[in-house]
Amino acid sequence: MLQEGSEGSDRLSGQQRVSVPIVQNTDERAAFDEVFVPHMSEAYRLAQWLTGNASDAEDIVQEAAIRAFRGIKNFGAVNARAWSLTIVRNTAFSWLAKNKPKTVVYLNDLSAAEQQELEYEGLQGTKVETPEQIALFKADAEEVEKALAQLPTQFREVIVLRELNQMSYRDIAEITNVPIGTVMSRLSRGRELLLALLGNRK
């Protein structure tokens, strides 16, 4: 390596410092500003919901931003929002898997029966409710926030993406990388779990 170059570099004219990669970087930087930056605060909230923690969310958004910047060449100009949130979501999951493996319920670690029960069988489904009982439901923001934080991650994320980010099923399927049918059953199941948690409070 030609370390003494720094001394000589003072005598170089300005143009010679301009090399092709800088130009590319500038373009990539502009693309990044256009594609990722507008969704950054949304990304931050998603990360916060997935990790349950503000400072972890900050780390994740930073890492996701760098991943997005490095991968900006691969952005296909289709849906910048879904693309950005996908990166954040995946960064959050790898981060959780690495740093807090216990907080993510891996469905595969459960027995087939437990999986079936968690994913499909209704808590509500076994209970016959009258319209009057159903109409009694009341919840405030604080209670719902607590209940939502308790949901298993894969249900929490679809509810957050649907209700707070107001994404379509299609976009949620893309971001969470599952078929639309799975998004539908997780949303329905997640809402049931949420209602059950809220029903059991007091």
Partner 1 sequence: MALLKDDDELLLNAYFDGELDPVSAREFERRLERDETLKARHDRLQKLREAVRSIPQTGMPAGLQARIQARLDAERRNNNNVTVLRRRTWSYQALAAAAVFGAVISSSVMMTMEQFGQRDSVASEVVAGHIRGLLAPQPYDIASSDRHTVKPWFTARLPASPQVPDLAAQGFSLLGGRVDVIGHNPVATIVYKHAAHTISLTTLRSGQSVPDQTVSGYNVRSWSDPDFTYVAVSDLPGADLTAFERAFSKAAPAPEIK
54 binds partner 1 (CB under 8 A): yes
Contacting partner 1 (CB under 8 A), which of 131, 200, 201, 202?
131
Site for partner 1 in 78-97 (CB under 8 A): 90, 93-94, 97
Short-list 185, 166, 197, 191, CA closest to 46: 166
Contact map string, positions 156 to 175, toward partner 1, x by CB under 8 A? ---x--xxx---xx------
**Tokens linked to 58:** 């900050």
Q: What's the Cα-to-Cα distance from 60 to each of 26, 156, 185, rounded to whole Å?
A: 24, 18, 28
Minimum distance from CB of 173 to partner 1 (Å)? 11
Q: Are 175 and 167 in contact (CB under 8 A)?
A: yes
Pairs from 162-168 (Cβ < 8 Å, separation ≥ 24): 162/187, 164/45, 164/49, 165/42, 165/45, 165/46, 165/85, 167/82, 167/85
Contacting partner 1 (CB under 8 A), which of 79, 103, 104, 123?
104
Minimum distance from CB of 49 to partner 1 (Å)? 10
30 binds partner 1 (CB under 8 A): no
119 binds partner 1 (CB under 8 A): yes
Minimum distance from CB of 9 to partner 1 (Å)? 5
200 binds partner 1 (CB under 8 A): no
